[in-house]
Amino acid sequence: MNKNQVKRRAQETARHAVASVQAVRSAMKVARIFVAALALAATACAPSSHILTGTPRPAISPSEVKIYSTPPPQYQEIALLDAHSSSAFGPGGQKAIDKVIERLKVQAAQLGANGIILGDVADRQTGSIGTGAGSDSYGRNSAVGIGVGGSLGIYKKTGKGTAIYVPPG
């Protein structure tokens, strides 16, 4: 093999390597768009729900709803509540818990409940996003391969509670 042949092969290998890198970059752009769309879809889901177990009362302000860790001596059950706060790629923290409790209070207030017996508050992984891209290029005497991959979790801080009415007294 003479000097010119070696030079041409080196240039060909370099062109293949550049094409491989460009293919990986293009795949990563598509992956970023996919991740953004999936994160948007995950946060668009309804953040709260309830099941009536008693009679609703006239709505009150969420600021009037009191949180109980144990049931008070006298109360009337109105509904079972469920709320969540989505955190795209981590379990969240105190802010996520505060958001869940605020959503539970809003639900309870809409049902006329002046109290919530707080149930379970937990982190729940609801899915994950993974992607990978690879490319290779080869010639007679050389080969180049490039690969990239990754995965991220989608978490929800969930909270359950029982909406109650505590008579004054």
Q: Mean pLDDT for each consecutive 10-residue tract of the chain (169 residues)?
A: 73 68 64 55 58 93 95 95 72 78 94 94 72 74 76 78 92
CB atoms within 10 A of CB 17: 17
CB atoms within 10 A of CB 98: 13
Task: Give pLDDT, residue 90.
Answer: 54
Q: Name the strand (E) or helix (H) holding 13.
A: helix 3-43
Task: Give pLDDT, residue 93.
Answer: 75
Tell me the whole-structure pTM to 2 decimals.
Answer: 0.57
Task: Report in angstroms the alpha-carbon separations of 53 from 22, 116, 153.
Answer: 59, 14, 35
Could you list the beta-strand ranges (E) of the chain. 48-52, 66-68, 76-87, 115-138, 143-165
> Chain-centre distance of CA 134, in angstroms?
27
Task: Give pLDDT, residue 47.
Answer: 62
Distance CA 123, CA 117 (A): 19
CB atoms within 10 A of CB 102: 16
CB 93 within 8 A of CB 158: no
Query: Domain segments of the chain: what residues?
Result: 3-165
In the block, tokens 């539970």 appear at 104
Task: Give pLDDT, residue 43.
Answer: 45
44: Cβ–Cβ under 8 A, 6 or more apart, which residues? Answer: none
Task: Give pLDDT, residue 38.
Answer: 53
